[in-house]
Amino acid sequence: GNADNLLCRCLGISITCLCVWLTLLFVFIIVPTVLGVSFGLRRLYMRTLLKIFEVNCGFNPDSLLKEEYGAGIALPLCSAGGLPSVPEFEMADIFFFSRRGLESILDDEVTKRFSAQELESWNLLTRSNYNFHHISMRLTFLWGVGVLIRYGVLLPFRVTLAVTVSPNSHNSPSMHVHLMCYRICVRALTAIITYHNRYNMLNAKTGGICVSNHTTPIDVIILANDGCYSMVGQVHGGLMGMIQQAMAKSSPHIWFERSEVKDRHLVAKRLSDHVADKTKQPILIFPEGTCINNTSVMMFKKGIFEIACTVYPVAIKYDPRFGDAFWNSSKFGLVSYLLRMMSSWAMVCSVWYLPPMNREEGEDAVQFANRVKAAIAAQGGLVDLIWDGGLKREKVKDAFKEEQQKLYSKVLVGSICVFAFNLRWALGSTKS
């Protein structure tokens, strides 16, 4: 009898907790999502976290790195600007190339874009190689409380929301249903988004192409939370493939097979046909082709810029203090990455809608792509790089190596010519 009573009590408590959980979920998430309003709880949560970071975690991890590895390497230069202005070869010239080689190894501006962004102060997340939570008892205590909150409260809450808005619930073609589903996804990530200059996207609803820098697959949710888009991308397998199939049932997205991606004419035709149909949603595409770590914008593929239509640039910038939004796909699978995101403090970002841009007369697709990329980088406070994001998984192309070899050969040829001229002049003077 006692065992049955205990079992009934445990069952009653479990049902009560479940009812309270679902009630809170309905009142604070579902209702505001349907009505398109916010109670401001997420922004209050963000400000509270900032206060905690400023008071308790206000030290710079870079200081530990400098103590361990030193401040850097300084090498003499052959001239003030690097290469000598007068083509005269000296043994000291090798210092320029030695310095550039060491800089490329120690501070490579390309490969470091494919790893987590460095923080100015610790955010109580164990996402680094250094045990910052052992510095003091206060930090250790806060870190332990943070683990309990993130994995015991935030993670179950977010997973419940994510299951509520599973891909099967996206089968309705209604724009309002789409927006509601994406807004629930935003709340499942505790995403706090600030949109700027929305008036620049008013005409995008009737066609055009929206291009953005790319940090994470969640970029899609961030932008779709504010409007409906048709996605463009390559067909994937696994969880990503399941999501793509579900999305294809609800709206006209453009998915390419691996073999079709290489056919530029087929890709251009499908994109042109979609843009020409004013009844379809604007296209959302990430021209970098891969995720970059929220510090820079790398080379845009020119294909999308060959289509004669208006381009709507968008800049997205994440705040790394609340969590690392970058998806390092070569290190983490999609499921592992999503779990990391759902166990982070929050996703805080700003979105800027830039003025529409069109291809100018006499401007080719590459120049147009670079102009759009520069505008996105300037607005988002990102570094504008000319390098291809494909270097994340591929080796440097021979063409880039040949350019450096030609630069060096010009220095040598110039030096040899000057030496020959001086030798002839010296011989002529001797004869006379």
Q: Same domain, yes or no, for 204 and 255?
A: yes
> Looking at the structure, do residues 286 and 355 belong to the same domain, yes or no?
yes
Q: Are residues 226 and 270 in the same domain?
A: yes
271 lies in some domain = yes
75 lies in some domain:
no
The answer to whether position 41 is within a domain reads no
In a domain, 109, yes or no: no
Q: Which one has a higher pLDDT value, 408 or 288?
A: 288
Note whether 422 and 288 are same-domain residues: no
For the entire predicted model, the pTM comes to 0.73
* 236: helix, strand or coil: coil
Query: Residues 152, 287: one domain?
Result: yes
- Determine the pLDDT at residue 352: 95
Do residues 368 and 360 lie in contact, with contact meaning Cβ atoms separated by under 8 Å? yes
Of all residues in the chain, the percent with pLDDT exceeding 90 is: 12
Q: Are 318 and 246 in contact (CB under 8 A)?
A: no
Per residue in 142-159, pLDDT (tens digit) is 888 888 999 988 888 888
Given a contact cutoff of 8 angstroms between Cβ atoms, the answer to whether 320 and 168 are in contact is no
Report which DSSP code applies to 150.
Answer: I
> What is the gyration radius of the CA atoms in the chain, in angstroms?
28
Indicate if 138 and 163 belong to the same structural domain: yes
d(CA 170, CA 251): 9
Residues 355 and 381 in one domain: yes
Q: Is residue 122 part of a domain?
A: no
| Same domain for 306 and 251 | yes
User: What is the model's pLDDT at position 219?
Assistant: 92
What's the number of domains the chain is made of? Answer: 2
The verdict on residue 118 lying in a domain is: no
Q: Are residues 198 and 345 in the same domain?
A: yes
Check whether 51 has a pLDDT greater than 60: yes
CA 309 to chain centre: 25
For residue 170, CA distances in Å to 27, 164, 180, 182, 224 come to 22, 11, 10, 9, 13
pLDDT beyond 80 at 370: yes
Q: Which range is least confidently modeled, 206-210, 246-250, 340-344, 383-387?
A: 246-250
Same domain flag for 320 and 410: no
Within a domain: 108: no
Instruction: Give the structural domain span for 370.
Output: 132-392
For residue 400, the model assigns a pLDDT of: 66
Q: Are residues 364 and 418 in the same domain?
A: no
- Label residue 92 left, alpha or beta by phi (over 0 means left) and psi (-120 to 50 means alpha): alpha
Same domain? For 431 and 320 the reply is no
Selected residue with higher pLDDT from 409 and 361: 361
Task: Tell me: pLDDT of 195 over 90.
Answer: yes
123 φ, ψ (degrees, to nearest 5) = -115, 25
With contact defined as beta carbons under 8 Å apart, do 32 and 39 qualify?
yes
Give me the CATH number covering residue 159: 3.40.1130
Of the candidate ranges 162-166, 198-202, 242-246, 300-304, the one whose mean pLDDT is the lowest: 162-166
Judged against a pLDDT cut of 60, whether residue 168 lies above it is answered with: no
